[in-house]
Amino acid sequence: MIIKILFISLILISILELIFIGLNKQKNRYMTKPLLMPLIMALYMLYSHSINYAILGALFFCFLGDVFLLISKGNDNFFKLGLVSFLKGHVLYIYALMPPIAPISLWCISYIVPYIILFMILYDKLRSNFGAMKIPVVAYLVVILFMSFTSLIRMSYVGVGYQFWFPFIGSIVFIVSDFILAYSMFVRRIKDDGLWVMFTYIVAQIFIVGGFC
């Protein structure tokens, strides 16, 4: 019963968050956005057979990132705090996704090549307008791509079931979400970017966490 209530609450809060973005009701988002990660955390703790505290830590830092970005309103300090919070969240996701200490095949290591190519493509698309944010944004880009890489090589020890596919798909969607945000900030505004960023962000978090249930 509690799980159903939390799941329905997550759906409703997510829908309201997207509606508020679409209607440009920024103040109303103070009632919705900060609830998203706590609801996912609660569902994870109830669904999971074995709680991974790195996942909880990642969600907590993403919650902080949500709050900092929500109150930033053009304030660079709050934006940077949000960026650092998400960075810490991705580092904890990396820790949770990383295979146990054991020999990793060269085949798995070779999977990093597409991510290097992807980094070069994304960097080339964004670099002209980084300004003073160049170092933190590049660091964030490296970390989120490495997070996705660890979700891919996770296949080597969990197989090709949902425990692999959910986090991997989630990591790719997370990259899409952050690229939309960065492109709109540093290059050119994408139509309805706020809606797309938040929708893909919610989907990414649910998929990544779902792979640990």
pTM: 0.92
Contacts of 5 (CB under 8 A, 6+ apart): none
Range 157-183 average pLDDT: 93
Please say whether the beta carbons of 200 and 18 come within 8 A.
no
Chain centroid, CA 31 distance in Å? 21
pLDDT reported for residue 74: 66
CA distance 141 to 26: 27
CA angle 177, 181, 184 (to 5 degrees): 135
Model confidence pLDDT, tens digit, residues 91-106 = 999 999 987 765 566 6
Query: pLDDT over 90 for what percent of the chain?
Result: 62
3-state secondary structure (DSSP) of residue 147: helix
Contacts of 78 (CB under 8 A, 6+ apart): 68, 69, 71, 72
Q: Where are the domains of the chain?
A: 2-210
CA distance 190 to 200: 14
DSSP state of 181: H
CA distance 67 to 207: 21
Question: Nearest to residue 167, comparing CAs of 181, 178, 153?
Answer: 153
CA distance 79 to 76: 5
Model confidence pLDDT, tens digit, residues 107-154 = 667 888 999 999 999 988 887 777 777 888 889 999 999 999 999 988
Encoded tokens for 72: 């930033």
3-state secondary structure (DSSP) of residue 26: coil
List the single range of 16-30, 72-86, 159-173, 179-193 with lowest mean pLDDT: 72-86
Please say whether the beta carbons of 153 and 143 come within 8 A.
no
